[in-house]
Structure 1
């Protein structure tokens, strides 16, 4: 009886039912869209952070660089040998650690032994500034125009006879190129954690566990393209020749490291034996990262522990702005629209009950108890809510699909931090020691819809139907059989 009457009443009031359902559908669709876009923002931010941290890294341990002592110079210092040839090529590499003060390698085991730490790996970040070019020796010529001998014209400064003028040096000079790039020393025995973890080898191969001190290198794709490196190419750093064994491409975004070397080789180049600049840490439970951070900070003094959420605060640009809007304005807007949709549905249901005075009054006169009338109104509202939920899910999925299909581009500006691997190399001024460097990445936005979001939409549809049915049912239960007689004209 309940089902038959419910079907008949909904068929009679199709327009009213559709209006209530559409009101709920719009609110639910907006919630789905905002949640899916927020999830896409989170995925985009995770891609950006992986380029600095590496896949599977939950936090990094570093130590802030101390201020230079008074009178000490932190600037570049290049020395070239003086040679007698008229044109001599010169080349010099300046290799220095970057990112923070060096830590003892033994500290890696100490961090790994902390409660809640699954594994820890040390890495050394270097900046190499290469200066190469040539000097051209000048010629000393006399300023006199008289017919003096060639030996007098090219004599030493201050020489010449009484008729000659002072010799002047003409020509000569220097022409040098400056190239700066970043180098990361990798623990080849555990490459699943650290700077190379977020890279994919697209040509050649990666390091083997036996190459702890081998003169081999993996180079980033963009740097290899710039320098025209291929697998088997060789290059020198401070006189040491390295062979390229692999070309690496970032899994998600641009990498800030140009060259990857075995850790021992990087320590030798940087004169940092048994030292690292960054310790990459993976927690046993991703939900306990904050407690692991406190554990490391309390047991290992003088270090700075940076989590992914800390690093997220350094991301700026349109990605950061859009993420803030989605998390703040978008969610509050969806809540406000949802509340309005619930209220409209409740008011429309209550208004519809008011127009059915004769119907409910007659049913009560025939013996229907108040609870049965209330159940009838709530049942109709629940069906309207489920229809609205179905429409809302369809609209929300369509909006999310549209965002994913368009894939709007967002930019992320990465400011280097103590835990980062430094700024981009390949050019002068790229991430030098003690400097703040940055890298701009471009990320395509998607809007993934999870099962949790769908379940939330269904829950909202049911809640909307219950709220509307509760108000309408309460009004219907207060009607008396006499009300039906008054409505007869």
Structure 2
């Protein structure tokens, strides 16, 4: 009887039911799209951070920057020892990024802290290469003058030196010293070897290198090519492509070899840390800062605050404006659904009054109204899920590009010589997606049920107050 009457009433009031369901569908669809876009923003931001950290890295440990009163970092010096007739010059300066290093023993200290699952050190370098040549000037005697010093010149040459000078090209690139025995952590893990091979665990001090694909294309490097750093020739054994499109370094070489080139024996610039539990990262950070003096610990959450560009702007809009707009639309949809249901009950005074006169109790009338409202809510939920999923998939198909720039807020990793020193000045381009999770669908179903219950509560309250006498007074 309940289902028969419910089906008949919904069919008879199709337009009103469709209006209520459409209002709920709009709010639910907006919630799905906003939640999906927010998830996409988080994934995009994660890709940007992985280009610096590498997969699996929860935090980095770097040396604390010295106070400004202690002076800035030393500047690189280029020394040219040219002999007579030696015009062409070339000089490399290899220096740790940020000029701040930690002792290699710090890696073991960090690994021994409570809550740390794994730790590995890396040495991020900047290589500045100067190539050019000196061109000596030519002595031009004046007319009537002599070079030998005669002619009343007091023994001085009668002329001047003209021409000469120097032309030098300055190129810089980054190199990252990686622990070949521990390649499961650090920036190189965010790149995939697309040509050649990765380092062998035994190549701790070998003269081999892995090159980023973008840099290899620029310099026309191939597997088997050689690159010279400070007089040492490295054989390129592999080409790596960064997952995020922007690598942490141009070249990757064994850690010991990087330490030798930069005169940084037993030194690292960054310690990459993986925590036992991702929920305890703050506690691990506090323990490291408390127990290991002179260090700065940067988590992915800290670095996320330094992301700027259109990705940051869009993320703020999705998080703030989008969520508040979703809440406002949902509240409006719920209220409208409740008011429409209550209004429909008001127009059915004769019907419900007559049913009560025939023996229907108030509870049965209320259940009937709530049942109709619940069906409207579920129909609205189905429509909202369909529209929301379609919108999210459409956004993923379009994949609009967003730019992200790191270090705008001066994060500790950027100033302390981590591999992000170069990436801080680069805009990374990320394709936005809108992934839909099971939790989002469950939220949509919950909202549909909630909308139906709210509408049913309004209508049921109105229906429970009707009396049979109301119906009799309206009978003509």
TM-score (norm 1): 0.92
1:2-401 equivalent positions in 2, closer than 5 A:
2-66=2-66, 74-85=74-85, 88-99=87-98, 101-145=100-144, 152-153=146-147, 155=148, 159-162=149-152, 166-401=158-393
Residues 208-266 of structure 1: per-residue CA shift (max 9 Å, x gap): 00000001111111111121111111121111111111111101221141111100001
Q: 1: CA distance between counterparts of 2:64 and 2:381?
A: 53
CA distance 1:46–1:73, change in 2 (3 Å): closer
Aligned pair 1:485/2:459, yes or no? no
- Contact 1:218 1:247 (8 Å CA) reproduced: yes
- Contact 2:193 2:241 (8 Å CA) reproduced: yes
1:470 to 434, 447, 457: 457
Deviates more, 1:28-37 or 1:64-73: 64-73
Gapped regions of structure 2 (runs ≥ 5): none
- Contact 2:350 2:472 (8 Å CA) reproduced: yes
Deviates more, 1:255-264 or 1:64-73: 64-73
Q: 2: CA distance between counterparts of 1:408 and 1:242?
A: 40
Q: 2: CA distance between counterparts of 1:6 and 1:69?
A: 80
Task: Name 2:434's counterpart in structure 1.
Answer: 447
Task: Name 1:419's counterpart in structure 2.
Answer: 413
- Contact 2:97 2:418 (8 Å CA) reproduced: no
Q: 2: CA distance between counterparts of 1:70 and 1:468?
A: 68
- Contact 1:181 1:424 (8 Å CA) reproduced: no
- Contact 2:181 2:201 (8 Å CA) reproduced: yes
Deviates more, 1:251-260 or 1:391-400: 251-260
Task: Name 1:149's counterpart in structure 2.
Answer: none
What displacement does 1:295 show? 1.5
What displacement does 1:342 show? 0.2
Q: 1: CA distance between counterparts of 2:99 and 2:359?
A: 83
What displacement does 1:407 show? 1.3
Gapped regions of structure 1 (runs ≥ 5): 147-151
Counterpart secondary structure, 2:187: coil
Q: 2: CA distance between counterparts of 1:74 and 1:47?
A: 33
- Contact 1:215 1:242 (8 Å CA) reproduced: yes
- Contact 1:54 1:196 (8 Å CA) reproduced: yes
- Contact 1:256 1:439 (8 Å CA) reproduced: no
Hey, which of these two has a bigger chunk of helix by percent? 2
Q: 1: CA distance between counterparts of 2:315 and 2:70?
A: 44
CA distance 1:99–1:55, change in 2 (3 Å): farther
What displacement does 1:44 show? 0.8
CA distance 1:187–1:300, change in 2 (3 Å): same
Counterpart secondary structure, 1:438: coil
Q: 2: CA distance between counterparts of 1:257 and 1:200?
A: 14
